[in-house]
Structure 1
Amino acid sequence: MPTRRSVLSGSFALAACAGAPSAPAATRPLKDLLPCPVGVCGMSGQFGDAGWRELVAREFDQFTPEWEMKMEAILRPDRSLDFSRADACADFAGRNGMRLHGHALVWYSQGAEPFAGLDKSTFARDYDRYVREVTARYRGRAVSWDVVNEPVAEDGDGLRTHHWSQSLGEIDHIRRAFDVAHEADPDAVLFLNDYNLENLPRKGAAFLRLVETLMKAGTPIHGIGTQSHLDVEIAEGQIAGFFREAAQFGLKIHVSELDASLKSDRRVDLRPDGQKRAQQAARVTELTESFMALPDDQRFAFTVWGARNSDSWLNRDARAGSGDQPLLFDASGAPTPMHGAVVAALD
């Protein structure tokens, strides 16, 4: 998940739509409509919410811990490990018959403080130990992992520079994490995960070049995770273009963090609500159709980043307010127009 939403100004306009699509009537659960798992993220604080639990159990069959399996939740200042919160998420998935997707082993934005000041040998040893012990703990429970999260620079100009790359190498720290994770759990499906891959063609291309480099080096990378925090104003065909390019590697593809904000970073947003909804529906339709056009064995899962609009990370930012509607269900658990776009695309 990006630290902030990067929104492009785009030329796309949906001329044929005069108003917002209406919310769909009740339908079959999403997990019964797609030929692959349908995922959702969540945090342990939501487990006590009966409405949230009911919705998640009914609609989804894969679970991604939004925070509790990240390094920030597991790694203590002395580099010992606390699995209490991660275990709670794994237990929740198991109780509800949901496949567990681990997120994320290595992320540029976490881990700097506990590793600060270490000599290179200790740094490398404890990096390996962290990846090994976390992966091994959930062997047989987590079917997959985002091994390295968000490796490409914000604008697509190469890779990010951070504490992991500076100590272990720009490419080598990525290869190392995949190698160690694969050794710890040979059955886990291992993903490279990033955002703005559809929104920014330059970044999408840089990401796929990294995938190619890793594959040529013999890295055990099994899948591409595209977060799909969609900018609803991007040009028609941009999402489909990225999926066509990504599919050529033959790897599994995970739509890993889908949402589609109706808001814009523009200082003044004069778009009427109907246009925003039409743009959202068009982009989500294109994403769903592009995913469904993949070969059967490449469709790993279709995951949304929150069950209800009120659960979305986009509505937690005080600067943004709480009025965004980027997900498939509203605060009451009723399907939104975005849900209707997904279902219509499947039909």
Structure 2
Amino acid sequence: MPDFRLTRRHLLASPLALAACGSAPSTPPLGPVSPLKDLAPCPVGVCGMSGQFDDAGWRDVVLTHFSQFTPEWEMKMEAILRPDRSLDFTLADRCADFATDNGLRLHGHALIWYSQGAEAFAGLDRKTFAADYDRYIREVVTRYRGRTVGWDVVNEAVAEDGDGLRTHHWSEGLGDIDHIRRAFDVAHEADPESILFLNDYNLENLPRKGATFLKLVERLLKAGTPLGGIGSQSHLDIDIPDGQITAFLREAGAFGLPVHVSELDASLRSDSRIDLRSAGERQARQTARVTELAQAFMALPPEQRYAFTVWGARDTDSWLRRDERDDGRDSPLLFDASGTATPLYDAVAGALASG
């Protein structure tokens, strides 16, 4: 199974480093289509960054088709936390205002992530480390209380291969489980109405990782953690076996919590040294996997469908198109560079409309 997803978090670009070119997908794009938000009985989300707000084409796609907005970068610790551990909300406020001004639900992403914050917290004694950890979460959540519907409280807690949890500065400073429970407790105290998510990736792609993630959910709930929802990023590997996505979402839904498909995309690229399949064959696999995901999501009880979110408005907005390996031809999203619907739009729209 291709494993390029496992290094995706090293590919984040600055909020202004946005790709500007693209090429046509192998199948001709669709013509004019209905707004996704009008077809779906649940919120339909998209991510974005403040550098895109003045892009008329981007705004047209987002405001036509989506009802929920996730800041891709500006509400992460990297954007808010200064080296002296003071907080700068300039960019995060822009994103919150964009959502408010345009009538979009706002989903906060992400409070605690293993890949950020190490430098600012390095060398602190445990008491100061814990106090500033709590303060960061409390101040961020409180600032957007009443504006965010939910938060990704802890992002990507499970090890890459699914063998237990990650080890990092947060777990070393506060404990592997305790830092997670603490983050949820502080966030819940700061905003009791917000739905608090544990969010991770490769849960559908790697059954071992999905199982470890769900065991963590069970452990946290049994300990009384105010975990309110399950977030599956759904950066789909198009070559996983049929039925694997459905099996994971069914198990995740068994907890009775809201489920968020939080970062959907599906790359057509292959990490195989030689891939003899035609572009059409790869696109058929892509469409089948995304259709399965959307159908499995819609099979959840209505009250558990928190939102179905895609990780980028247009192909050229995708983090996958910022990868140095990109050849300008990948089409991982629902709209192409011109804002015209791709076959993935049809896959998602058909499933969401059926609910």
Contact 1:65 1:103 in 2 (8 A): yes
Distance between the aligned counterparts of 2:328 and 2:132, measured in 1? 40
Cα deviation 1:79-125 (Å, max 9, x = unaligned): 00000000000000011100000000000000000000000000000
The partner residue of 1:59 within 41, 65, 70 is 65
TM-score by length of 1: 0.94
Partner of 2:122 in structure 1?
Answer: 116
Task: Tell me by how many angstroms 1:326 deviates.
Answer: 0.1
TM-score by length of 2: 0.92
Structure 1: 5+ residue stretches without partners: 7-19
- Count the aligned residue pairs: 334
Structure 2: 5+ residue stretches without partners: 10-25
Task: Tell me by how many angstroms 1:21 deviates.
Answer: 5.8
- Give 3-state SS (helix, strand or coil) of 2:7's partner: coil
- Give 3-state SS (helix, strand or coil) of 2:294's partner: helix
Partner of 1:178 in structure 2?
Answer: 184
Written as runs of structure 1 = structure 2, the 5 A alignment for 1:259-298 is 259-298=265-304
Distance between the aligned counterparts of 1:274 and 1:345, measured in 2? 21
Contact 2:262 2:309 in 1 (8 A): yes
1:141 to 2:147 alignment: yes
- Give 3-state SS (helix, strand or coil) of 2:127's partner: helix
Partner of 1:74 in structure 2?
Answer: 80
Partner of 1:98 in structure 2?
Answer: 104
Contact 1:281 1:337 in 2 (8 A): yes
Give the stretch that moved more between structures: 226-235 or 315-324: 315-324
Q: CA RMSD in A?
A: 1.4
Partner of 2:12 in structure 1?
Answer: none
- Give 3-state SS (helix, strand or coil) of 1:258's partner: strand
The partner residue of 2:317 within 286, 297, 311 is 311
Cα deviation 1:242-266 (Å, max 9, x = unaligned): 0110011000000000000000111
Task: Tell me by how many angstroms 1:43 deviates.
Answer: 0.3
The partner residue of 2:235 within 218, 229, 233 is 229
Partner of 2:7 in structure 1?
Answer: 4
Counterpart of 1:51 in structure 2: which amino acid?
G
Percentage of matched positions with identical amino acids: 71
Counterpart of 2:87 in structure 1: which amino acid?
L
Cα deviation 1:167-217 (Å, max 9, x = unaligned): 100000000000000000000000000000000000000000000000000
Partner of 1:10 in structure 2?
Answer: none
- Give 3-state SS (helix, strand or coil) of 1:117's partner: coil
Partner of 1:46 in structure 2?
Answer: 52
Distance between the aligned counterparts of 1:126 and 1:166, measured in 2? 15
Task: Tell me by how many angstroms 1:342 deviates.
Answer: 1.3
Counterpart of 2:284 in structure 1: which amino acid?
A
Give the stretch that moved more between structures: 259-268 or 193-202: 259-268
Contact 2:6 2:160 in 1 (8 A): no
Counterpart of 1:203 in structure 2: which amino acid?
K
